[in-house]
Structure 1
Amino acid sequence: MGGPKVFAPVKVEAARRVIEDEWSSVCDQAELTKADRNRLWGRQFLNPFALYNY
């Protein structure tokens, strides 16, 4: 039987894809500077340690 652990990696991968695909558009809408974009990318969103051992 598939429990939450079976579906979690699929959900995480889907969320990661959406963030990567929409990042530029959302940053444009928020009028973020290039420095702000770079500061947030990989720190607030898609932090490599957030998914460690997932």
Structure 2
Amino acid sequence: MFLEKGVYQGSSGVVYPHPVVEKISDEKTDKEYTAVFLKNDYLKIMVFPP
């Protein structure tokens, strides 16, 4: 599931813990995500906690 021993699209070759997805489904599904917003007068950042 994880890419090993090679460089993928210009990366350093280290992709763990991010899996390589090699199959994309033709069917769309809705999925809810929980996001945390950090905001000040100049910047707004959205973070997806694990």
TM-score exceeds 0.5: no
Normalising by structure 2, we get a TM-score of 0.19
Normalising by structure 1, we get a TM-score of 0.19
Which one has the bigger helix percentage?
A: 1
Which one has the bigger strand percentage?
A: 2
Question: Rg larger in 1 or in 2?
Answer: 2
